[in-house]
Amino acid sequence: MRGRTVLVTGATSGIGAETALGLARAGARVGIVGRDAARTQATAARIRAAVAGAVVDTFVADLASQAETRRLAAEVRARYSRLDVLVNNAGAIFDRHAVTVDGIERTWALDHLAYVLLSLELLDLLKASAPARIVNVASEAHRRGRIAFDDLGQAGHFSALSVYAQAKLGNVLFSAALARRLAGMGVTSNALHPGVIASGFAAGTGGWFGFGWRLIRPFMAKPEDGAVTSIHLASAGEVAGVTGAYFKACRPVAPSARARDPALQERVWTLSLDQLGLSDRGLA
């Protein structure tokens, strides 16, 4: 990865931090994105301490906000002359319904729409840096997901697991739709399942879900294990030309039948761009 530049979102802890560390060890210049400036700087310092000569840049943004995500993309474009890999990793699960400043249920906004918006805002830079890669951290939870087009936020019957699974299905659908549009452009788009990892992913979640998560957390895999597939998709030569796939344990596996449905992929693509106020940008 020497000479290559990578951007990792949600990189102040857990899988994101381990992904950034692993790619720095491989020689990449790494940009890390977090919501809190102090935590982001602290993570950068830890990576620099662990990897002699590591170049780590920090960016601060709340990716649940479309304006913040656009500002982040502008800062990345201003700072970097090239971007070889974008790892969309930031995400969370919430135990109660809430909407963002854009009026969108926050799980869908952070765990799905932020992937779409940041990828498209940085797409010209990625294409100019080809061969380049977009890596979307999804989840096996997508297999339980259904896109509730008429009630994405599920305000009246909110379920943390249901809206999370919906967003993770959105990741896989988006990855495939984007891969189709980028064919022949030198930019790949793949999604992955990192495993069930003991990280800060559900920190602060209350109710029965939060209780259950804390109960099983000691039996989960470590964050460094969860980063393995992200690092593989970001760096391995054997996947250089692979696109539109879904990976688990560094191997391509078939996602759910819904995730493989081209009509649903296109419908979610259109919905996502509508929510972001974007056009198809000629990527038909």
* Catalytic annotation present for 246: no
How far apart are the C-alpha atoms of 188 and 122, rounded to whole Å? Answer: 13
Q: Which of the residues 80, 115, 164, 246 is marked catalytic?
A: 164
3-state secondary structure the chain: CCCCEEEECCCCCHHHHHHHHHHHHCCCEEEEEECCHHHHHHHHHHHHHHCCCCCEEEEECCCCCHHHHHHHHHHHHHHCCCCCEEEECCCCCCCCCCECCCCCEHHHHHHHHHHHHHHHHCHHHHHHCCCEEEEEECCHHHHHCCCCCCCCCCHHHCCHHHHHHHHHHHHHHHHHHHHHHCCCCCEEEEEEECCCECCCCCCCCCHHHHHHHHHHHHHCECHHHHCHHHHHHHHCHHHCCCCCCEEECCEECCCCCCCCCHHHHHHHHHHHHHHHCCCCCCCC
Q: Which of the residues are catalytic?
A: 164
